[in-house]
A and B are shown apart, each in its own frame.
Chain A
């Protein structure tokens, strides 16, 4: 702070309060709309104060969903989302860490070639090659399964890069000392390298969990069985399924519950999250 300008500071606060209001508004609306009885949305403009049916609406959403339009209850979709997000996150971390270890700590033929194969995945997001990827997964018989939901998404160039970047900064002496003491590569990896990188791995975990939880297009394509619907894609089914206006109170209750887990992760691990985000993209 160079100078003290009360008026300027006041202006900053006003702008920021406006900004926070803008950012919070949509979620506020969802929270407000979810406890209203269905009738509220048939007449007039939507309310700005909460309604009386909180318990009832959330219970309906949680246990029944909109079963007649083909969406399963939220409890099931949340479980599916959690399984998918954790499988993607843990899978990504596991294969990225060991492949970065191989690339940094070994010298072997075709090293650069493998590095480039991994690097290429950065340039091929699912969205741009939807049809052929779907065909591959269908041929492998992985439609409507947790394996199909997670495995195709776990190859990750960004995680490999970040881990590699970190491994490059680990002092050489550690490895030399370990070798002098007779430690093999896996012993060094387990007892020295992994404990050192635990913060970076945690930061990556936060980013990858949010990525996994928020997957939309992929679950939409490969699940036709409501047993495997995830919550983020299930919302779309709730909005467009059925032929009447969407049941907004149930949709909004679902929205609140779908957004809650990743938002909580960010709020409680904000420092790790910011670290993970700014470092992965470097």
Chain B
């Protein structure tokens, strides 16, 4: 790792400057992560009196637990649904905004602000809109003969949380897609237009391939968002229900740890989640090194 060509000298000063961040990291990040690893191989009896070493038994049990496997499956559906929905809409809007000349800034402003809305608040808003008795959308769905009820139907509940999560994420994706579109060289598009390529053809053969690094980056970021940052949406609305239909992995760690008080299992789930985050981070960083190829 590089530094400056010339550096200051000092024996204790650099350590003193690093100390606050390193101390906080050790106390609140590294130590708890170590604790999670340690607890994941232990099991406590229900009164917390006896702790036994059980090796990888907690993990084995999780892998055999139908509730956990269900939760994994739900997380997958949720992450894919949220990512696809928010990225597709954001790309559509970004392409349209990029076509505009005078109104570009006003449309951008109107589209970026939901970034500031907390996931929990986004959840409550859509929960209100979809409220089976007074919500406006169930009322409209009722007119076309669909009986919306996210308190009974797992599918409805899943659709509700996907919409809430995707709604909040559109603005983030939009900002990145727009930045990407603005860096596509105009000369390429003009050359293709002179050769007679239509708008759609120009988009799919020139613009979209040039956007692929950003698309890939957003893909990873959105999956991370859907898996870990959406706790608020689930907790403030469906609370994992009905019948486990929206019990995604982060929510389950919390529930098993704080409500179920099953510390060994919760720790093992934490370890699995950390592995997933680390894998996603590594993928993201490897890609960043390669993206200069374009």
Contact = CB atoms under 8 A, between A and B. Distances in A.
Contacts of B76: none
B293 interface: no
B122 A217 contact: no
Interface size range of chain B in the complex: 35 or more
B8 A258 contact: no
B80 interface: no
Given A107-B7, A129-B32, A255 B125 contact: yes
Contacts of B28: 133, 136-137, 151-152, 155
B176 A185 contact: no
A112 B1 contact: yes
A159 to B, nearest CB: 10
A128 B253 contact: yes
Interface string B250-262: 1001100110000
Contacts of A94: 20
A90 interface: no
Nearest to B134: A46
Main SS at interface, chain A = helix
A243 interface: no
A220 interface: yes
A125 B228 contact: yes
B290 interface: no
B290 to A, nearest CB: 14
A144 interface: no
A123 B277 contact: yes
A25 B10 CA distance: 57
B59 interface: no
B92 interface: yes
22 contacts: A15-B92, A19-B93, A26-B122, A26-B167, A46-B134, A108-B10, A123-B277, A127-B250, A127-B254, A129-B32, A129-B33, A129-B274, A130-B257, A130-B270, A132-B270, A216-B236, A236-B232, A236-B236, A239-B124, A251-B128, A266-B112, A267-B113
Given A130-B270, A235-B120, A259-B118, 7 more contacts: A15-B92, A16-B107, A95-B20, A186-B13, A232-B118, A235-B121, A236-B232
